Structure 1
Amino acid sequence: MSRAFVRSVCETLPGAEVSDPWGGGHDAWKVGDKMFACIGAMDQGVAVKTADPDFAAMLIEAGDAARAPYFHKSWVLVEWGADEGFMRDRIVISYDLIRAKLPKKLRDTLVARPD
């Protein structure tokens, strides 16, 4: 897995945009100006949002993810080398969680996500 893989997943999601808000080589993927995935400058993997801190803790305890440094406890780091399908699913789920919290008016402007 790599930045290129994350890009290939994220760029297909409606309204997804990437920026480097802190400088130094971060990839912050956002929808409606809200981040759903982030690759840090240290390039260890991709940080994604989970439904809640308990689910994040379960993923960490199961060894499927690590604590995402600098993020809320509901975020996890899916490290490079993780299963490609798992990483893709976690990115898409994170996107869906963030998109669902956007104002309805903004959500309605986004094209439906292909399944």
Structure 2
Amino acid sequence: MSRELVNEICAAQPGAEWSDPWGGGHDCWKVAGKIFALTGTVGTHVTVKTESAEMASFLIETGVADRAPYMHASWVALPLDAAPDELAHRIRHSYRLVRTALSRKAQAALPPL
């Protein structure tokens, strides 16, 4: 899967916004100002949130993902050449986790799911 396809999946999420907050070519995808997916300047992985540090450890131990540098233990880095459905599933799941953690007011301001 390419970085462009990752960006397409991210852009398709309701209320998703792109930014490059650190400069230099990052693809940082946010919903209501909160990151749900991030591709670094090198662009070999997409970093996404999982429901827990335990799930992240499981994905890392089984070889599905790597530890996400600079992020909390519940985040993982998936290689861009991972199975397309796994990558799409993890990006959408990360989006939903971040979106549901928003305040009711922030969620109400977003387009419907």
**Same fold, TM exceeding 0.5?**
yes
For 1:64 and 1:97, locate their aligned partners in 2 and report how far apart those are by CA, in whole Å: 19
Give yes or no for contact 1:2–1:45 (8 Å, CA) kept in 2.
Answer: no
For 1:41, the equivalent position in structure 2 comes to 41
> 1:31-75: CA deviations, max 9, x gaps?
000000000011111000000111000000011011111111110
For 1:100 and 1:49, locate their aligned partners in 2 and report how far apart those are by CA, in whole Å: 12
Runs of 4+ in 1 over 4 A off after TM superposition: none
Q: Which runs of 5+ in 2 are unaligned?
A: none
> What count of residue pairs does the alignment treat as equivalent?
113
SS in 2 for 1:28: strand
Pairwise CA distance, 1:100:
0.5
TM-score (norm 1): 0.95
Give yes or no for contact 1:24–1:41 (8 Å, CA) kept in 2.
Answer: yes
Say yes or no: does 1:24 pair with 2:24: yes
For 1:50 and 1:59, locate their aligned partners in 2 and report how far apart those are by CA, in whole Å: 9
Aligned-pair identity (%): 47
Pairwise CA distance, 1:112:
2.1
For 2:4, the equivalent position in structure 1 comes to 4
Q: Which runs of 5+ in 1 are unaligned?
A: none
Pairwise CA distance, 1:105:
1.2
What code does the residue aligned with 2:75 have? W
C-alpha RMSD of the superposition? 0.8
TM-score (norm 2): 0.96
What code does the residue aligned with 1:21 have? P
* Structure-to-structure mapping, 1:72-91, within 5 angstroms: 72-91=72-91
* Structure-to-structure mapping, 1:52-91, within 5 angstroms: 52-91=52-91
